[in-house]
Amino acid sequence: MLLHIPGIFNREEVHRIRQALEQAQWVDGKSTAGYQSAKAKRNLQLTDDNPLAREISEVMLQRLWQNPLFMSAALPHKVFPPLFNCYTGGGAFDFHIDNAIRQVKNSPERVRTDLSSTLFFSDPDDYAGGELVIQDTYGSQRVKLPAGDLLLYPASSLHKVEAVTRGARYASFFWTQSLVREDSQRTLLFEMDQAIQRLTVDVPDHPALIQLTGNYHNLLRRWADV
């Protein structure tokens, strides 16, 4: 499931964040890549201990934990601390699949990467190229979202970032370990939850809502990995 989640940051916030990112100290993105990925990766990144990265990450995670769409779709258990990248001057990241397990720096904690997320801080017109290309069951999906919006997709997907030939593409990316490991089960639960929410608005007193809600929670109880 690919899901567009709009408006994590508003336009004014995005403008301030992008100005700060433009002034930041960037390093070679290969420093955080595995052996295979490093051969395909040509971009810039902020270091894990960069104060700006930590500041934005803290606000971003607060927003996500309060976002009903993200919570319903991701069913998050753990989130790997967000990272920040910049693609410019031909920078690209060829086809790859994200590592299954990520070790949090200077911590014993590990995060299983069930879901990948990219939060865009550059608008599509700010740069040429730079599409996030994701291979899924429906073929190849090419994504360039408005600044402030987030894309959520299975980390098991083969994906790449096309070369940026004009301007700069600023974004944050991170991984989520879900309470439900299997993507098809998460998708079913998400669709059920969205249907229940719509019915709660349209027919709030319908007796079937109790049964549907119970079925949702019984499935979640069966599939949750905690």
pLDDT tens-digit profile of 59-82?
Answer: 999 999 999 999 999 999 999 999
Structural domain boundaries enclosing 208: 183-223
**Distance, CA of 169 to CA of 124 (rounded, Å):** 9
Residue 159 assigned ligand-binding role: yes
Alpha helices by DSSP H, listed for the chain, are 11-22, 35-38, 51-65, 68-74, 183-202, 208-223
Q: Looking at the structure, tell me whether residues 55 and 138 fall in a common domain.
A: yes
Domain count of the fold of the chain = 2
pLDDT tens-digit profile of 7-18?
Answer: 999 999 999 999
Q: Looking at the structure, tell me whether residues 124 and 202 fall in a common domain.
A: no
Residue 217 assigned ligand-binding role: no
Q: Looking at the structure, tell me whether residues 131 and 189 fall in a common domain.
A: no
CATH code of the domain in which 218 resides: 4.10.860
Residue 222 assigned ligand-binding role: no
Q: Looking at the structure, tell me whether residues 160 and 187 fall in a common domain.
A: no
Residue 126 assigned ligand-binding role: no
Q: Is the pLDDT of residue 103 over 90?
A: yes
pLDDT tens-digit profile of 159-216?
Answer: 999 999 999 999 999 999 999 999 999 999 999 999 999 999 999 999 999 999 999 9
Q: Looking at the structure, tell me whether residues 110 and 194 fall in a common domain.
A: no
Q: Looking at the structure, tell me whether residues 193 and 170 fall in a common domain.
A: no
Q: Looking at the structure, tell me whether residues 144 and 64 fall in a common domain.
A: yes
Q: Looking at the structure, tell me whether residues 193 and 209 fall in a common domain.
A: yes
Question: What predicted TM-score, i.e. pTM, was given to this entire model?
Answer: 0.93
What is the identity of the amino acid at 166? R
pLDDT score, position 40: 79
CATH code of the domain in which 20 resides: 2.60.120.620
Phi and psi at 221, nearest 5°, equal -60, -40
Q: For residue 190, what are the CA distances in angstroms to 5, 146, 179, 197?
A: 14, 24, 13, 11
Q: Looking at the structure, tell me whether residues 153 and 193 fall in a common domain.
A: no
Q: Looking at the structure, tell me whether residues 55 and 155 fall in a common domain.
A: yes
